[in-house]
Amino acid sequence: MNTNFFNQIQQLDFTGNLQLTITKGAKNNLIVSILLLNEQCGDSAKNLIPPLTFNASAQEFDEGFFQQISTPVQKVSGLMVDMEKFQKQLDEAKAQSAIEKAKTEKEKKEQETKDKKFKQAMDKVDELEKEGKHREAWMKVPDITDYPEKADELRKRKTSLSDKFATPSLFGATEETAPEPPQTEVAIADCPTDIADEDEDENEY
């Protein structure tokens, strides 16, 4: 007897494992349950999909079984395939998010280290400037190429320090400008009397 049963199963559009359970019921009826499993789907919500269950006579199954299950099986299959795709996209999004988070954390730590080095360098500049070592302080100012975002600040600081340098000496050395001692004018009235008299006698000749 040719029933074409498996040929019709083959024509069903589904992805996964189709489990068919047949149990004899009351009044010579058959209870047929169909459960579609898709192990590729990682979403646990798939376990909430109930099996398709039919209770009918053998003749009724022969006449309309595949017409009854074709659409539901296709829908359930499509649902689990979509759930699988969604789960994969979700996993990829989580992985990408983790990568971006790690990248952000790394950049944050690098920036914190860079800022710490900058502060330490500028503290040293302040210290040397207070000690009057303007040239050494100028040399300790961080390089602009290392901190382009602070270029204006660094230029102003170097200019401020260089303005305190002395003009270069004959040998190219730079020294701090020393204040000139005040010049004292000696008034004639402060000179001894005998020296003043000698000057008057000389003027007579």
Q: In the Cβ-directed half-sphere of 132, how many Cα atoms lie within 13 Å?
A: 5
Tell the burial category of 41 from Cβ atoms under 10 Å away from its Cβ (0-12, 13-18, 19+): buried
pLDDT at 163: 84
pLDDT digits 0-9 by tens, 102-137: 888 899 999 999 999 999 999 999 998 888 888 888
> Predicted confidence band at 200 (pLDDT cuts at 50, 70, 90)?
low
Contacts of 64 (CB under 8 A, 6+ apart): none
pLDDT at 166: 53
pLDDT over 90 at 174, yes or no: no
Query: Considering the entire predicted model, what is its pTM?
Result: 0.42
Amino acid identity, position 111: Q
pLDDT over 80 at 60, yes or no: yes
Cβ atoms of residues 36 and 18 within 8 Å: yes
% of the chain at pLDDT higher than 70: 79
Domain boundaries, the chain: 5-90, 117-162
Mean pLDDT confidence for 67-87: 88
Task: Identify which of 81, 70, 98 has the alpha carbon closest to the alpha carbon of residue 46.
Answer: 81
pLDDT at 123: 93
Q: In the Cβ-directed half-sphere of 198, how many Cα atoms lie within 13 Å?
A: 5
Tell the burial category of 29 from Cβ atoms under 10 Å away from its Cβ (0-12, 13-18, 19+): middle
d(CA 197, CA 17): 136
Mean pLDDT confidence for 52-64: 89
d(CA 142, CA 155): 10
pLDDT at 117: 92
pLDDT digits 0-9 by tens, 26-52: 888 999 999 998 888 888 888 888 888
pLDDT at 197: 53
> Predicted confidence band at 194 (pLDDT cuts at 50, 70, 90)?
low
Q: Where are the beta strands (DSSP E) in the chain?
A: 17-24, 30-37, 52-56
